Amino acid sequence: MKKGLLKLVAFSVLVVTLASCAKAPQAEIDAANVAIEAAKTAGADRYVPESFNSASEALKTAVTAVEEQNSKFALFRNYDAAKTTLASVNTLAAKAVEETTAKKAALKAEVTASLTEIATIIAANKELLAKAPKGKEGKAAVEAIGQEIAAVETVSTEVTAGVTNNEDILTLSGKIKPAVEKAKAISTELTEVIEKAKSKGGKKAKK
């Protein structure tokens, strides 16, 4: 009877002790890691580095908080703060993905607009090139401008293919912007060459 009572008391103490031990939020840590990886795969580290860094730093803080609790005696562990931080990691990572998607969409729209613009300018440049002084007169200059147009057109083709193949839009954006500027410069140059030729022709006629 006495021994039975003692065993019951000891067992109850053991059950209460074990039941009161908090469990490490391993599932939440795994989920947060997955969220960070997803953000990285989406390109958040390149497109929205600030947001991505915030999420990564929060994960580090959360993991440290978990280990801080793991360092304590089992009865005194409390993972609530770590869980809150882990939840914020998911939120921040999701936000980074969202921002990345938005930035990519905005860049894609910009690149698409630039492609339309450059196509128009290239077509106009080709027309201007056809009007530029031909034959012996200014042939080398016209040929040189022709090569400039060809270079711009090649970039435009590359970027168009890149957009179709869903290549990195940030890189494509960096390629197309200077090409548009170049196409505009060629347009100005050609216009000036034609105007110069016209005015020379006019002067010659007066002699």
Partner 1 sequence: MGISRSQVPKQSYFSVSLLIAIPLKILGIYLLRMKLGWKKRLFISIGISVSIFVIVYMVLILTMDKPPLAEFKTCQQILAKAKRANADVYSPEYYGTAERKYQAALIEWKIQNEKIFFQRNYTRAKELILTATLKAEEANASSGVNKNSLKMKYLQEVELLKLKLDNYHDVFIHLPLKVSVRKNYEFGKLSLEQGLNAFSSGDIMQATKRLNEGKLKIGIADKEVNTLLKEYFGNYSKWQNWYTSTIRMSEQNGGYALIVDKIKHKGYLYFKGKLYKEYDVEFGRNWIGNKYFAGDKATPEGMYRIIKKKGNGDSKYYKAMLINYPNDEDYASFNSKKRQGLISKNSRIGGLIEIHGDGGKGADWTSGCIALSNSEMDELFSKTPVGTPVTIIGSRISLAELLN
User: Interface with partner 1 includes 130 (CB under 8 A)?
Assistant: no
x/- map, 155-174, partner 1, by CB under 8 A: x---------------x--x
Looking at beta carbons only, is 96 or 155 nearer to partner 1? 155
**Cβ-proximal residues to 81 (8 Å cutoff; 6+ apart), any chain:** 65
User: Interface with partner 1 includes 67 (CB under 8 A)?
Assistant: yes
Kindly state the smallest distance separating residue 52's Cβ from partner 1, in Å: 10
User: Interface with partner 1 includes 206 (CB under 8 A)?
Assistant: no
Using H for helix, E for strand and C for coil, what is the string for 80-126? HHHHHHHHHHHHHHHHHHHHHHHHHHHHHHHHHHHHHHHHHHHHHHH
Judged by CB under 8 A, the residue of 4, 19, 26, 136 near partner 1 is: 136
User: Interface with partner 1 includes 140 (CB under 8 A)?
Assistant: yes
**CB 180 within 8 Å of CB 167:** no
Residue 206, Cβ neighbours under 10 Å: how many?
5
Report the candidate in 133, 122, 126 with the shortest Cα–Cα distance to residue 194: 133
Judged by CB under 8 A, the residue of 4, 19, 73, 202 near partner 1 is: 73
Kindly state the smallest distance separating residue 25's Cβ from partner 1, in Å: 14
**CB 179 within 8 Å of CB 148:** no
User: Interface with partner 1 includes 15 (CB under 8 A)?
Assistant: no
User: Interface with partner 1 includes 192 (CB under 8 A)?
Assistant: no
CA-CA distances (angstroms) from residue 2 to 5, 12, 58?
Answer: 5, 15, 54
Kindly state the smallest distance separating residue 17's Cβ from partner 1, in Å: 12
Say how many Å lie between the first and final Cα of the chain, rounded. Answer: 136
**Applying CB under 8 A, which residues contact partner 1?**
2, 6, 9, 53, 56-57, 60-61, 63-64, 67-68, 70-71, 73, 133, 135-144, 147-148, 150-152, 154-155, 171, 174-175, 177-179, 181-182, 193, 200, 204, 207
